Amino acid sequence: MGGREERTDPRTDPAATLAWAKDGAEHLRGLMGRLGGDTFAMPSGLPGWTRAHVLTHVARNADALINLLDWARTGVRTPAYSGEGQRNADIEAGARRSAAEIRADVVASSDRLADAVRAMPAEAWRATVEIRGHRIPVTDVLWLRAVETWVHAIDLDAGASFTDLPQPMLRALVGELASVMGERPDVPAMVLVATGEPAGRWTVGEPGADAPEFSGSAAELAAWLSGRAPGRHLRRPPGVRLPHLGRWR
């Protein structure tokens, strides 16, 4: 089950994911810096959240990932978050701060995470940690941060889009989204084809010969699979509707 793609998965290359995470942090900072302070209270692309919520969430995500790196480095179990309720409360409280405070928090937390990455000894990168009940290799922290910064930059609804992502990362993201959707019992089997660059082909679930094929650019596929766009521009067989996928995150 899940999504399968015929290319090697670049998410397993820490050098690549570290570069994407660094570039994503700079991309988000640049976008945030161009926002006027009075626009932080405006709605974001995420239901019920303002831009201040999104940016506060990005900052707290950095701290959560630092906890995972500390876990890997010291061997002492350090959960990413103390609990879902506390996580949500921290975001709500943080979103009420001034734009200057939020900007400073995003920059400072991102710098702390970069310091924590540099402090990791080579052997610590072989550890496994846990986030939201899932065991993951600690190297996945770099991928998680890359996705966090690039996708939430889009969620600010300030002009960013999936076309901004580095092409290899965009292809890897579509692969992850296809895999996530393939594990959901309410998502039908299908074939996804990214045309242009980056190109790719993925299967979702266990499609038979009659499984529909949906195609478009990798950016269009990522926007649809992640719940950021309805997929109106995706090509599909005559008379076939796009399935409802629900929110990714």
- Write the pLDDT tens digit of every residue in 43-79: 999 999 999 999 999 999 999 999 999 999 999 999 9
Q: Tell me the per-residue pLDDT of 119-156, one tens digit each, with 9 for 90 and over.
A: 999 999 999 999 988 999 999 999 999 999 999 999 99
- Residue 7 pLDDT more than 70? no
User: Residue 130: exposed, middle, or buried by beta-carbon count in 10 A (0-12, 13-18, 19+)?
Assistant: middle
Kind and range of the H or E run holding 150: helix 140-155
- Residue 42 pLDDT more than 80? yes
Closest CA to 194 of 230, 154, 224: 224
**Cβ neighbours for 125, distance < 8 A, ≥ 6 positions apart:** 14, 72, 138, 139
Domains in the chain (CATH in brackets) are: 11-160 (1.20.120.450), 163-249 (3.30.1050.20)
- Residue 111 pLDDT more than 50? yes
Rounded CA separation 227/246 (Å): 7
pLDDT band of residue 82 (cuts 50, 70, 90) is confident
pLDDT band of residue 6 (cuts 50, 70, 90) is very low
- Residue 205 pLDDT more than 70? yes
pLDDT band of residue 1 (cuts 50, 70, 90) is very low
> Rounded to the nearest 10 degrees, how much is the dihedral formed by the CA atoms of 169, 175, 48, 83?
-90
Rounded CA separation 51/162 (Å): 18
Closest CA to 152 of 246, 76, 53: 53
Rounded CA separation 148/210 (Å): 35
Strands 190-195 and 213-217, bridge-based pairing:
parallel
The type of residue at 43 is: P
* Residues 50/156, Cβ–Cβ less than 8 Å: no
Please give the share of the chain, as a percent, with pLDDT higher than 70: 96
- Residue 3 pLDDT more than 60? no
What mean pLDDT is predicted for residues 236-247? 91
Closest CA to 149 of 20, 34, 15, 39: 20
pLDDT band of residue 195 (cuts 50, 70, 90) is very high
* Residues 194/215, Cβ–Cβ less than 8 Å: yes
Rounded CA separation 129/69 (Å): 8
Query: Of 6-10, 194-198, 215-219, where does mean pLDDT reach its minimum?
Result: 6-10
pLDDT: is 84 or 111 the higher one?
Answer: 111
pTM for the whole thing? 0.93
* The residue to which tokens 């831009």 are assigned: 51
Determine phi and psi for 158, rounding to 5 degrees.
-130, 25
What mean pLDDT is predicted for residues 156-176? 97
Rounded CA separation 137/206 (Å): 27
Encode 38-49: b = buried (16+ Cβ within 10 Å), e = exposed: eebeeebbbeeb
What mean pLDDT is predicted for residues 18-27? 97
- Where are the strands (E) in the chain, listed by range? 3-5, 128-131, 134-137, 190-195, 200-204, 213-217
- Residue 10 pLDDT more than 80? no
The type of residue at 161 is: S
